[in-house]
Structure 1
Amino acid sequence: GNELEQATNYADLAVNSDRYNPAALTNKGNTVFTNGDCEKAAEFYKEALRNDSLCTEALYNLGLAYKKLNRIDEALDCFLKLHAILPNSAQVLYQLASIYQIMKDPNQAIEWLLQLISVVPTDPHVLSMLGNLYDAEGDKSQAFHYYCESYRYFPSNIEVIEWLGAYYID
């Protein structure tokens, strides 16, 4: 708690000294978010964006706050706007895929994950997510391909090992 308390005090000082500074507002939002008040954090992020519509940190964190509040359409909107500004951001691509998974839209999730592996081709977690989605869609050969790739970069993932084992038994 002590570091968060200090961060909160500094964030308050910064916002009080310059009410319109997007970085100060974003930092204040971050301390509130860390304390678990996503609703209030979202207000600080929105205020930061009113002062600088291209403040990518505020936009990203607003998307995360909406996601945590289960306001999925609004979260999606934030990450799509961010994608237009930062088309090769691995974090943004990951969030978009994650949101489409939450929305039960595996085809869209797959599309975003495929874009993501063009940016981070050796991420075993992303590769196994693709394997999982293709498997759920009934595309065993694509699932096999991505699970094998995931295994190649991280051979200790038990879920991947179990899936590959079951695949070879079938």
Structure 2
Amino acid sequence: MSGASDAERLLEEGLGEWRASKEHALGVHAVQQYLAPGRPPPFPWGVIEFENHVRGYRLGGPIHKDEARMYIVAFAGPVPYVKIGQTANLPDRLQQLIREARVHGYSLVDGWKSPISIRSKVWEKRFLASMPKAPYTVDREYFHGADFARVVRLAEKITEPDVAKLVDR
């Protein structure tokens, strides 16, 4: 990586540790450290590679259009945030969220999706009613500084009763 800045070398070193161990938290940390000062796009390949990993492995495939589900995505950047939503077209929605985030110096670093269900809107409403507002909320579906794992645990508590009923059928 000739001509790379110190920040890019540190990013690549951190992502090298993630690649070697496949410990997701190492990749999140490396990308967050790189983007924290507010670096504008375009992002180095390592950031895009990690984002692609999240899309392919953390959100898992295959993801198709016309599959209603709730989703949670986490973005690294100057003020990390978690976004909650529901959609019937997760591939297009992810692309839109990533494009919007990149413009402002953020990158996708984690994701979760519910099982496919016509109850995804109900789950989202329950979740938003259950999520503590302060100190996180700037917009009703964006939670700055929220812990991704805790947000996912709350979402799983909300979706589990309905998912269990589907499995029992």
TM-score range, shorter chain: 0.3 to 0.5
In the superposition, the TM-score normalised over structure 2's length comes to 0.32
Return the structure number with greater relative CO, CA threshold 8 A, min gap 6: 2
State the structure with more CA Rg: 1
In the superposition, the TM-score normalised over structure 1's length comes to 0.32
